[in-house]
Amino acid sequence: MILGLGNDMIDIRRIEATLDRFGDRFVSRVFTAVEQTKSDRRAQRAASYAKRFAAKEACSKALGTGLRRGVYWRDIGVINLASGRPTLELTGGALRHLNSITPPGYEARIDLTLSDDFPWAQAIVIITGLKTGDDR
Ligand SMILES: CC(C)(COP(=O)(O)OP(=O)(O)OC[C@H]1O[C@@H](n2cnc3c(N)ncnc32)[C@H](O)[C@@H]1OP(=O)(O)O)[C@@H](O)C(=O)NCCC(=O)NCCS
């Protein structure tokens, strides 16, 4: 069953300007260590951060909270599987909220897709409830 759906688009130039203006203060407030390592290695650094920023907003919509109600930016972190496929790791308030929308006997699976085509970056998140023990 679908528990949540969210998307977000952001202008990469907005993130570029924020990186120029606030630098590490912005990066360390919003992005996890894994996201920083990934994006700082990329030639398209601002686009990489923009996709991850969009992923956080998309996930906050899928959770139904927005980035409020105890859900903070770094509670929602993009990780990449060995294949390159992205997914999200939730902690803190975001994880607590995910657990609260997951019915008993179900576990939550989060699917994420990211895309960028300058100046746009986009993310879509689907949260699915799988009966415990079901194949993924
Ligand atoms: C929910 C949130 C992520 C929306 O993102 P946004 O970039 O402001 O706006 P978008 O155009 O992408 O999305 C707006 C739509 O999100 C949807 N939305 C709003 N609140 C939502 C919620 N709690 N759950 C799911 N969807 C929500 C609405 O459909 C809204 O459009 P509508 O008002 O016309 O119906 C945003 O309100 C938020 O929480 N932002 C983070 C907080 C923030 O910016 N703090 C400032 C300090 S950096």
User: How far is ligand 1, taken at its centre, from the CA of residue 61, in Å?
Assistant: 7
- Whether pTM > 0.85 for this model: the answer is yes
Closest residue by CA, ligand 1 atom 26: 61
Q: Alpha-carbon Rg of the chain, whole angstroms?
A: 15
Q: For the chain, give the percent of residues with pLDDT over 70.
A: 98
The rounded distance, in Å, linking the Cα atoms of 65 and 118 is 28
User: How far is ligand 1, taken at its centre, from the CA of residue 134, in Å?
Assistant: 33
User: How far is ligand 1, taken at its centre, from the CA of residue 5, in Å?
Assistant: 13
Please check the confidence at residue 136 and state whether its pLDDT lies above 60: no
Question: What is the pLDDT, as a whole number, of residue 133?
Answer: 78
Evaluate the omega torsion of the peptide bond into residue 119 and state whether it is cis, within 30 degrees of 0: yes
Ordered by where they begin, the domains of the chain are 2-131 (3.90.470.20)
The rounded distance, in Å, linking the Cα atoms of 29 and 16 is 16
Q: Residues near 115 by Cβ (< 8 Å), separated by ≥ 6?
A: 51, 121, 122, 123
> pLDDT-derived band of residue 135, with 50, 70 and 90 as boundaries?
low
